[in-house]
Structure 1
Amino acid sequence: MRVLLTGWAGFLHGEATAGDVLSLRAAGAALTAAGIDHHVAWSPRFRPGARHLPGAPPEDYTHVVFVCGPLHGPQVRALHERYAACRRIAIGVSVPDPGDPAVTGFHRVFPRDGGGTAEPDLSLAAAVSRVPVLGVVLASHQPEYGGAGRHDEVHDVLTGWVAALDCARVPLDTRLAHEDWQRCATPDQFVSLVSTMDAMVTTRLHGLVLGLKAGVPVVAVDPVAGGGKVTAQAGALGWPVVAAEDAGDSALLDARLKWCLSTAAVPSAPSVPSLAGLVDELAGSR
């Protein structure tokens, strides 16, 4: 016996949701625990270097198990045609139409919903690991720095580095908006959101400042060659900063992030001398 596990995360024109992948993980773990030989076929768009359906010959398998998602459409029907000689089973799936050939083509269906029944989703059975949650705040183009601005190139290498990390990435925007539900409407909301992160990655002055204000360590990168306001503010706060010229040094970024995730050395809120100066200035004008 050899089983091929797949699902919508295995179709070229499908999608790999967190629930799909966790459900495949749960099914694979159950087969492994039972000593059942199996492979998983993934979409080449999701995992280019993995096993794909075209590279999983029907003659290599006795069973095909389709995991998670709705049973409908031409891609599911094509699966029946390609693996016609295999016993085909669907598990953790939705069955919107029990008479659909995409459904009736399976020898056995274990639905999560359909036909008036509902069962817990397979993803609940999958093991998961806690990974760091990183808030990412990127500065928009800052014309005041003229030719010294390296925003595009710094953001290209920085986001490429972040994308390769095993972490949960949360894009954050310091700009507030009452009419856009995807943004915070007040600074209190923003700082509260930031406080839930394990660390921050930013090229924006207020990404640095508000991260530290919320008690969250920050990987601060200055997008301005020679140093701009991020570098100046980091100096004022006694916090390290990565220069624009070093933004492509992944080893440096890795080390800085490791330090951020392992340290409690977030500075306490400093005094702001200019506020006292402002009050004195105004008081002297009365």
Structure 2
Amino acid sequence: MHERRKILVTGWFSFLHGEATAGDVLALRRVAAVLRAAGLGYDVVWSPGFRADGTHFEDVDPAAYTHVVFVCGPAHGPGIEELHRRFAHCVRIAVGVSVVDPRSPAVTGFHRVLVRDAPGAEPTLDLAARAPAPASAGPPVVGVVLTHGQREYADRRRHTEVAETLTDWLGGRDCARLELETRLDAHDWRLCGTAGQLEAVLSRLDLVVTDRLHGLVLALRAGVPALAVDPVAGGAKVTAQARACGWPALVDADEVGTAVLERWWRWCLADGRGAARRVAAAFRADTAADTADGLVAALGARPAG
């Protein structure tokens, strides 16, 4: 009986103007695991805006399928109603969905609705909760600290080019990216209000990618490796600070590119954590010199002339 079934799995992640959330994709993994365990084959439809290399609705011949499974999210709206029309000959099942209006055509068009929550129904566990766990520890968590200012460097500025190169490159890496800002603001909830708050975030990262001096220093202070790019041609304060910290993972603005970035990426995730912890330990040992050491003497000196 299984051989006669041809199942198409869809969700909000399938629609061109839909939305692929992490919860939806994990719910899909749960459904896929159940189908595989039952020996049932299936195809998945993806939005071309999310998975350009996947199967899209325009690639699908509805006549090739006997069943349509819609996974997760609200069972509501014209997209789902169109799904019913296009696959009218199929058995259509919704699983793990929220029902807002039980009389909606989007809901009544299904032959079976396995609800996550609905008016008058006891809620059930969301499908994402029991999705198969990843085989490994997961991708690294990377803080991204960039600047678009520093006009004082005039025609030596390469900030725009550096930021574009870094963000394009990072977009293709398997990592969890977290955009961070060193600027503090007590009134904007999106920004840290204290230095301690930012340090708490940095300490939980695997890596920081930055073109800012304080992106470098604060990452190392937290014992986290930093892949630093100096956005000023010929090197400026980021280069100088990497030298002062004894930190090797530094790229010049005119040399930034995929090969050098990936080389330092591998180093930071392999050997860089230990190196960063050693730098952080040196900071805490209070033995390295900084300019504050000369402040008291400077305050006691008489002005020249």
Please report the TM-score for the alignment, with normalisation by the length of structure 2: 0.91
Matching residue of 1:118: 123
Matching residue of 2:296: 279
- 2:246 is the counterpart of 1:242: no
- The amino acid of 1:125's aligned partner reads R
**SS at 2:72 equivalent:** strand
Deviations 1:251-271 (A, max 9, x none): 221121111112211113162
Please report the TM-score for the alignment, with normalisation by the length of structure 1: 0.97
Matching residue of 1:168: 176
- 2:115 is the counterpart of 1:106: no
- 2:23 is the counterpart of 1:19: yes
**Counterpart among 128, 132, 143 of residue 127 in structure 1:** 132
Shift of 1:191: 1.1
**Counterpart among 73, 76, 87 of residue 72 in structure 1:** 76
Matching residue of 1:257: 265
| Structure 2 unaligned regions, length at least 5 | none
Deviations 1:94-149 (A, max 9, x none): 00011111001000010000033201100112124321000000012211111110
**SS at 2:201 equivalent:** helix
**SS at 1:135 equivalent:** strand
Equivalent residue pairs, number: 285
Shift of 1:154: 0.9
Matching residue of 2:89: 85
**SS at 1:70 equivalent:** coil
- 2:122 is the counterpart of 1:137: no
Residues in 1 aligned to 2:133 and 2:143: alpha-carbon distance in whole angstroms: 21
- The amino acid of 1:9's aligned partner reads F
* Structure 1 vs Structure 2 CA RMSD: 1.3
- 2:240 is the counterpart of 1:232: yes
Deviations 1:174-218 (A, max 9, x none): 000011001001111111111110110000000000000111000
Query: Mean Cα displacement is larger for which, 262-271 or 142-151?
Result: 262-271
| Structure 1 unaligned regions, length at least 5 | none
**SS at 2:288 equivalent:** coil
Residues in 2 aligned to 1:184 and 1:128: alpha-carbon distance in whole angstroms: 32
Shift of 1:273: 3.3
Matching residue of 2:52: 48
- The amino acid of 1:120's aligned partner reads L
